[in-house]
Structure 1
Amino acid sequence: MTVSHDPANPLVVVVGITGLQGGSVARALIDSDKPYRIRGLTRDASKPAAQTFAAQGVQIVSVSLTTDNVGNVRKAFEGADIVFAVTNFNEHMDKQREIDEGKMMVTTAKDVGVKLFIWSALESLSAPSGGKYSSVGFFEAKHEITEYAKSSKIPLAVVPAGYYASNVFEASYALKKQADGSYVFGLPVPASTQVPVIDVAYDYGLYVRAAIENPALGAGSEVRSGTLISFGEIVAQLSKVSGKKITYVQMDRETFIEATGMPKYGPMLSDMFEAFAAHGYYRGKEITSETMLARKPRSWADFLDATQVQNFFV
């Protein structure tokens, strides 16, 4: 399908359209057989990704989604039937800022009367551990925003992103080249620890589209993304596809933190992985069935097949 400009069709506002999640959402809606008007929000409308969407008929709006810019955020949300919202903790590493900006988007969306607010949430890692794993700010911030959205009574669908497949390559603290040319992939958890891996750019939008289009979902639903796989199997498949000898090693907490080279954030990363092992990424909640999606999402093996993995081994 192409992007609609018919005012009779629903307007979907996509926050962060030039990012991995927002871009995936926009592409999934453009691919749908249902017509949507799409308004993409970004701080920089000159980005190539923004221009690509604009050429496809997406209305691109340049706006900063900060608490001191509520008036312009409201203008960007006005007329929306559906809002997809996401926050980016990595931009500022400020838990309270993320909470404040997330709550602002919830309140603004409710004020303009959206029919469905889709939130890219995460579970609390602190709650099931009795506060033991409390340092993972972006999980706790997104959970607090979820609870705020629920209490606001806005029509809400929660669509958490699974564990990014790209994280495996970007986790330089985990994948280490050895003197003999082999590699070690080390985390502070057993190899059997599972995470719901997702190719975010390719597949995340499928789950958001399901939240919009599948009559069994919509407001009140949680649409959990990804395909469960253990870190041990992640490493085994990566070794097979890359042709590199890669060994999974379970580190103790102190060794892992030292290996990250980040004294400030190493404990947070260790807490995150330890919480995954103890309580699960989704705290035992089931991943949404692939049968509810418009197509089958990529598995980790599929992601590797579609990725030039050799480029990551230099």
Structure 2
Amino acid sequence: MTISKDSSAPIFVVVGSTGGQGGSVVRAIQESSKPYRVRAITRDAAKPKAKELASLGCEVVEADISTPDGAKKAFEGADFAFAMTLTDFEVANPLDKEFADAKSQIDAAKAACAKTLIWSGATHIKDGSGGKNSIATFENKAAVTAYARSLGGLKIIDVQPGNFLSNYFTHMRPRKLEDGSFVMGMALDANTKIPLIDLEADYGKYVVAALEDGSLETVHAAPEYITPVQVAAGFAKATGKKVFFAPVPDEQLKAILTQTRGEILAVNMVAMFRAFREAGYYCGADLAPSNKMLSKPARKFDEMLAANPTGVAELFA
């Protein structure tokens, strides 16, 4: 079904509409059998991606959702909304900034009397691990979820994206060795179970399904758990190359990231990978209920690679 312009259709506000998560949500709305008017929020309506959204029938609204006036403009009249934030380690006090940006969106959605807010959150690792592990960025997003639910009168659905497939094409990409084989170095154990998602293709499916199904308050957006060894094997199968996994010690990861990205990010990343190894990305949550909602299954890893042959080939050139 196409995006509706009928004034009787509910307004669905999508933050981050020109990015990976928000763009995926817009595409999933477009594929829904139910009519929605889409208000696509962006900081720059002149972007090619913003113009593309307008051509699809979206109302493209330029707004800075980190400010009260911008958030009000974005969410005014909304029936449903998708809210998200990104952690910017380049600013002072990045977690405080991210929480404030999220709060701005939530308060505006509440003030607009929206029925449902879908929030791109994360698992509270400290609670889920009995205090043994903690990931500052995850706990921060979980605190946003708790704040939103404390308000009452606004239904909150926490749709937690899994580990992005794109990571394995960027900073976790295979590295070619002198003998022609490829190594995938990760600060994980061979048997660490990671929930992997092709964000742009599939994240929006979980968001729209969660809204339309309505049975889950927390959604784990990933089709399957996969280990680093299976990731390497999947690349090997897709390319015919020799690909193997090699664990990276925490100390080595911290040294590399401190030099290239700064100490704050480095400390958080080391804690994150340690938590993935010891507690699990979703602290062992069952993915079946979240995937049962989907009318069209999300791609599993082999299918993700098969859908991106050019990108895979470039990794192993």
TM-score by length of 2: 0.91
Work out the percentage of aligned pairs sharing the same amino acid.
37
Could you say if the C-alpha distance between residues 267 and 182 of structure 1 is closer, same or farther in structure 2, counting changes exceeding 3 Å? Answer: farther
Select the residue among 188, 194, 219 that pairs with 1:223.
Answer: 219
Give the corresponding residue for 1:291. 292
SS of structure 2 residue aligned to 1:224:
strand
Task: Provide the residue aligned with 2:39 in structure 1.
Answer: 39
- How many Å separate the matches in 2 of 1:31 and 1:90? 32
Q: Does 1:313 align with 2:316?
A: yes
1:159-308 matches, within 5 Å, as: 159-172=159-172, 175-217=174-216, 221-226=217-222, 227-260=224-257, 261-262=259-260, 264=263, 265-287=265-287, 288-307=289-308, 308=310
Once the two structures are superposed, the pairs formed by residues 6-45 of structure 1 within 5 Å of their partners are: 6-45=6-45
In the alignment, the residues of structure 1 paired with residue 214 and residue 109 of structure 2 have an alpha-carbon distance, to the nearest angstrom, of 22
**Residues 25 and 208, structure 1, Cα contact 8 Å, conserved in 2:** yes
Larger mean Cα displacement after TM superposition, 86-95 or 57-66: 86-95
Higher mean C-alpha displacement, 186-195 vs 8-17: 186-195
Residues 1:280 and 1:80: Cα distance change in structure 2 (over 3 Å): same
CA distance in 1, matches of 2:17, 2:278: 34
> 1:205-254 deviations in whole A, cap 9, x for unaligned?
1111111111434xxx1121112111110111112212322211123221
Structure 1: state its 5+ residue gaps: none
Structure 1 residues 73 and 159, CA gap change in structure 2 (3 angstroms): same
Unpaired stretches in structure 2, ≥5 consecutive residues? none
Give the conservation status (yes or no) of the 8 Å contact 2:25–2:203: yes
| Alpha-carbon distance, 1:113 to partner | 0.4
Which amino acid letter does the alignment assign opposite residue 54 of structure 1?
Answer: A
Residue 38 of structure 2 aligns with an amino acid whose one-letter code is: I
Aligned-CA RMSD value: 1.9
Summarize deviations over 1:170-216 as a string: whole Å, max 9, x none.
124x6333222322212232111011111110100111111111143
> Alignment partner of 1:282: what SS?
coil
Counterparts of 1:71-110 in structure 2, within 5 Å, are: 71-90=69-88, 92=90, 94-110=94-110
Q: Report whether the alignment pairs 1:52 with 2:49.
A: no
Partners in 2 of 1:79 and 1:157 — Cα distance?
A: 19
1:129 Cα offset (Å): 4.6
Partner of 2:61: 61
Matched residues, number: 307
Asked if the contact 1:125/1:272 (under 8 Å) is kept, the reply is: no
Contact 1:199 1:303 (8 Å CA) reproduced: yes
2: distance between equivalents of 1:59 and 1:276? 39
Which range is displaced more, 47-56 or 239-248?
239-248
Aligned partner of 1:15: which letter?
Answer: V
What TM-score, normalized by structure 1, do the two folds share?
0.91
> 1 CA distance for matches of 2:180 and 2:88?
32
